[in-house]
């Protein structure tokens, strides 16, 4: 396998972008990545998108986007793994370059979620759960994560305030990210007093509905070296699945797919959790970030809540988590999220993260998951 | 890149399978492929499916299917390129094995299309066209292919009867395929007198709505050799895109994405059209097969209709096309079609095709496309 580098990144402001359609949002972002990389062509495209079918009535998405980007007839594939679609796209692009079949691959992620109303968006997102065993009974994602939160609180003593502290930290980080949908601070009190969605989760525990895209350009490390640009190498890639239905899990207070994906990524990279300088992870709900910290091995099982309270994962902590603001503050256009995590890691490793810059960051890791953890993709990146 | 072989195939009877859900249809078929291959585990899964979101309200599909197949926590990704989703899945699996990141990869394709009514199915299929420029105006796929047919008839003198002869040939072949949805003969007269759908296309010019799945197991050729089984090697893989909107094409009587994908596959395999013993191609409508023959270089531009009439593509002709019965007789569960083409090629190259066996077949080729040719994937296979 060839070594693979990220040589270009692109992301524009996320939010409710009613004045632009999916194809425009994607194309503008992809052009930023192509411009940043300096390449004059691409050999292939991979696009992560969860449900353009339900959100905008458009499948056959990758061909459409390749055309709008002026790149036909290059091969273009869309990949889907619910909210992990972006991470899977990055992995497919990585494999494609590593294999030698393509040299320069554009990996994009996109979702246009605000062209439908709230009920329709909730239905579309709910298709990431098991429709025959979960959706049929009417449960949606806040409810599923609420079950996981209650189990974690009951078993490990995780507190309602600790959940809130995840949101407070991520909004603090996000306040330094001009591309974030909600770049402002929130307090523990504001989270605790926000509207109840699914007990114990309140609206400020939840990531938002977002329109947005993200893109990266990959090529072999050998080719990147000739371009005399900062080289961010993908040193580890791991993907894993679990039952998408919570009812089929052995333990609903544990993310087995994240544990398995991380194990594979650590093994490929030859790294341990303590070797990683910072993490971008999938905080779709506040409880999710706590569960992820444990599954990644940043803290022991059951210790995630306490670690947040002690500041371990703050921007200046030992293991900064979600310097970008995470899904919580940055927004969560589901198919784009996994790619945007890589964009943040590259910014940090290049030293281009502004007020949220982590000092001396050399190695970063991403964790992107679908549904309640039915799928996870992890990547580890190193500046060389 | 490592050399890649197909060591197992699976396909069950296609049709309107109301008594089983998508997950059951897929799992039964995948088990046939695993059983045929003799492997005791897989390292990864790729699933082609066009729109489980619109057809059954289920995304996050690959994780769900990996779980039902008893394969979690293996990585599993769904890929989508409209009706070329299966072909893209095969290509992704091929790249994954070729890269060295996975040894044994299960590639599946599936679609469950009859859980919705006809209007909903037509809408779902229509999302393979450009929603803002084609769907918005109300045109659906029979109408789009009718435009292509009229252009071809006007420019090259292709006749209404020649279109019918494609259906007659494919139903003749399909009558020997017990897994086909419509395994019976039709006459030219029956096609010409069938219900008009979109002038000049009649219902017997159209592939049907189908429930079904197909699966293949891939591994490195070196590993396959140790298993002492017939080895079908993938010697060429090509993928390409075009505008998905017909209005953006230079020539609506020509399939540029098929031409480009085939050119790449021929180049990788070091083969020319005349080296190929038979073809499985995307006859979603009768006119499509004529256009595909020309774009693959089996005949010159404009000569497709005449070639069918002369029997060039019959089972006993010089270039047999669609020995399986094609989409027309076998059925067209859109995400499964591209994988089912590979299943047929393997059966032919193994000499297991029964009454539709092509004698002395050594090299076969598949062509699978999305929409009106907005994407195409071609593969070339050789028995070694």
Catalytic residue of the set A152, A171, A282, A332:
A332
Contact residues, chain A, for B92 at CB < 8 Å: 77, 92
Q: Which of B55, B57, B77 to mutate to test the interface with A (most CBs of A within 10 A)?
A: B77
Contact residues, chain A, for B59 at CB < 8 Å: 50-51, 54, 80, 82, 124, 127-128
Catalytic residue of the set A83, A219, A284, A378:
A83
3-state secondary structure of B58: coil
Kindly give the parts of chain A with pLDDT less than 50. none
Closest by CA position to B342, among listed B1, B51, B106? B106
Who among A100, A123, A375 is closest to B63 (CB)? A375
Q: Which residue has the tokens 């979109």?
A: B198
3-state secondary structure of B273: helix
3-state secondary structure of B346: helix
DSSP E strands in chain B: the ranges are 4-11, 44-48, 76-80, 105-111, 196-198, 201-202, 212-220, 232-241, 278-280, 363-370, 375-383
Cβ contact (<8 Å) for B98 and A98?
Answer: no
DSSP code of B257?
A: H
Annotated catalytic residues of B are 83, 332
Contact residues, chain B, for A95 at CB < 8 Å: 95-96, 99, 101
3-state secondary structure of B30: helix
Who among B100, B123, B243 is closest to A67 (CB)? B243
**Is B364 in contact with B114 (CB distance < 8 Å)?**
no
3-state secondary structure of B271: coil
CA distance B154 to B242: 23
Contact residues, chain B, for A81 at CB < 8 Å: 60, 62-63, 76-78
Closest by CA position to A211, among listed A354, A314, A337? A337
Contact residues, chain A, for B93 at CB < 8 Å: none
Cβ contact (<8 Å) for A53 and B124?
Answer: yes
CA distance A240 to B66: 10
Who among B67, B81, B124 is closest to A62 (CB)? B81
Backbone phi and psi for residue B292, each to the nearest 5 degrees, phi listed first: -65, -45
pLDDT at residue A228, rounded to an integer: 85
Chain A: give the shortest CA distance to residue B107, in Å: 14
pLDDT at residue B117, rounded to an integer: 94
pLDDT greater than 90 at residue B229? no
For residue B301, name the pLDDT band (cuts at 50, 70, 90).
very high
Q: How is residue A82 written in tokens?
A: 């619910």
Cβ contact (<8 Å) for B81 and A76?
Answer: yes
Measured CA to CA in angstroms, residue B128 lies from A234, B87, B140, B245 at distances of 34, 15, 9, 9
pLDDT tens readout for residues A84-131:
999 999 999 999 999 999 999 999 999 999 999 999 999 999 999 999
**Is B373 in contact with B246 (CB distance < 8 Å)?**
no
Phi-psi region of B82 (alpha: psi -120 to 50; beta: other; left: phi over 0): left
pLDDT tens readout for residues B325-345:
999 999 999 999 999 999 999
Cβ contact (<8 Å) for B80 and A80?
Answer: yes
pLDDT at residue A171, rounded to an integer: 98
Q: pTM surpassing 0.95?
A: yes
pLDDT tens readout for residues B147-156:
999 999 999 9
**Is B167 in contact with B286 (CB distance < 8 Å)?**
yes
pLDDT tens readout for residues B212-226:
999 999 999 999 999
**Is A195 in contact with A202 (CB distance < 8 Å)?**
yes
The ipTM of this complex is: 0.97
pLDDT at residue A288, rounded to an integer: 98
Q: Strand pairing of A201-202 and A196-198?
A: antiparallel
Q: Which residue of B has its CA nearest to A62?
A: B81
**Is B260 in contact with B266 (CB distance < 8 Å)?**
no
Cβ contact (<8 Å) for A127 and B75?
Answer: no
pLDDT at residue B205, rounded to an integer: 98
Cβ contact (<8 Å) for A257 and B129?
Answer: no
Phi-psi region of A129 (alpha: psi -120 to 50; beta: other; left: phi over 0): beta
Cβ contact (<8 Å) for B79 and A80?
Answer: yes
Cβ contact (<8 Å) for B76 and A78?
Answer: no
Chain B: give the shortest CA distance to residue A60, in Å: 5
One-character DSSP codes across A47-103: EE-S-HHHHHS--SHHHHHHHHTT-TTS-EEEEEBTBTHHHHHHHHHHHHHHHTS-S
Contact residues, chain B, for A76 at CB < 8 Å: 81, 241, 375
CA distance B102 to B87: 19
Backbone phi and psi for residue B45, each to the nearest 5 degrees, phi listed first: -135, 140
For residue B208, name the pLDDT band (cuts at 50, 70, 90).
very high
Q: How is residue B275 written in tokens?
A: 């080296």
Contact residues, chain A, for B106 at CB < 8 Å: none
DSSP code of B354?
A: G
Phi-psi region of B188 (alpha: psi -120 to 50; beta: other; left: phi over 0): alpha
DSSP code of B50?
A: S
Q: How is residue A265 written in tokens?
A: 């990524």
CA distance A288 to A255: 9
Q: Strand pairing of B76-80 and A76-80?
A: antiparallel
Cβ contact (<8 Å) for A80 and B98?
Answer: no
- Decide: residue A248, CB within 10 A, 0-12 exposed, 13-18 middle, 19+ buried: middle
pLDDT at residue A11, rounded to an integer: 98
Closest by CA position to B307, among listed B330, B322, B290? B290
Cβ contact (<8 Å) for A73 and B99?
Answer: no
pLDDT greater than 90 at residue B246? yes
B354: CB partners within 8 A, 6+ apart: B176
**Is B42 in contact with B72 (CB distance < 8 Å)?**
no
**Residue B147, preceding bond cis, omega within 30 degrees?**
no
Task: Output the CA torsion sign for A358, A364, A366, A367.
Answer: negative
Who among A100, A123, A131 is closest to B56 (CB)? A131
Q: Strand pairing of A105-111 and A76-80?
A: unpaired
Q: How is residue B231 written in tokens?
A: 């080895």
CA distance B213 to B376: 20
- Mean residue pLDDT of chain B comes to 97
pLDDT tens readout for residues B16-36:
999 999 999 999 999 999 999
Who among B1, B80, B129 is closest to A99 (CB)? B1
């Amino acid at each position: 396998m060839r070594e693979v580098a990220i040589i270009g990144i692109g992301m524009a402001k996320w939010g409710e972008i009613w004045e632009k359609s999916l194809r425009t949002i994607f194309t503008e972002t992809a052009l930023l990545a192509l411009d940043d990389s300096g390449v004059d062509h691409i050999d292939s495209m991979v696009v992560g998108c969860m449900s353009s079918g339900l959100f905008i009535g458009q499948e056959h998405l990758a061909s459409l986007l390749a055309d709008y980007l002026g790149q036909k007839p290059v091969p273009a594939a869309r990949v889907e793994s619910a909210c992990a679609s972006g991470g899977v796209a990055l992995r497919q692009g990585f494999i494609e370059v590593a294999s030698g079949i393509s040299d320069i691959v554009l990996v994009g992620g996109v979702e246009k979620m605000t062209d439908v109303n709230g009920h329709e968006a909730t239905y579309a997102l709910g298709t990431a759960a098991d429709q025959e065993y979960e959706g049929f009974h009417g449960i949606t994602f806040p409810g599923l994560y609420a079950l996981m939160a209650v189990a974690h609180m009951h078993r490990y003593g995780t507190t309602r305030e600790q959940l809130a502290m995840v949101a407070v930290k991520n909004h603090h980080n996000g306040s330094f990210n001009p591309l974030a949908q909600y770049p402002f601070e929130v307090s523990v009190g504001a989270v605790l007093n926000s509207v109840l969605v699914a007990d114990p989760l309140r609206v400020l525990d939840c990531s938002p509905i977002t329109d947005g895209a993200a893109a990266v350009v990959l090529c072999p490390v050998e080719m990147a070296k000739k371009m005399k640009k900062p080289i961010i190498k993908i040193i580890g890639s791991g993907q894993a699945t679990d039952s998408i239905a919570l009812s089929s899990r052995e333990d609903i207070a544990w993310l087995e797919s994240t544990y398995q994906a991380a194990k594979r990524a650590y093994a490929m990279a030859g790294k341990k959790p303590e070797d990683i300088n910072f993490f971008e992870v999938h905080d779709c709900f506040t409880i999710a970030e706590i569960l992820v910290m444990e599954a990644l091995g940043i803290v022991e099982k059951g210790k995630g809540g306490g670690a947040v309270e002690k500041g371990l994962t703050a921007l200046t902590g030992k293991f900064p988590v979600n310097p970008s603001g995470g899904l919580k503050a940055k927004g969560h256009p589901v198919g784009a999220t996994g790619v945007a995590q890589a964009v943040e890691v590259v910014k940090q490793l290049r030293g281009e993260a502004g007020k949220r810059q982590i000092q001396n960051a050399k190695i970063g890791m991403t964790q992107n998951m679908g549904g309640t953890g039915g799928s996870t993709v992890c990547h580890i990146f190193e500046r060389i």
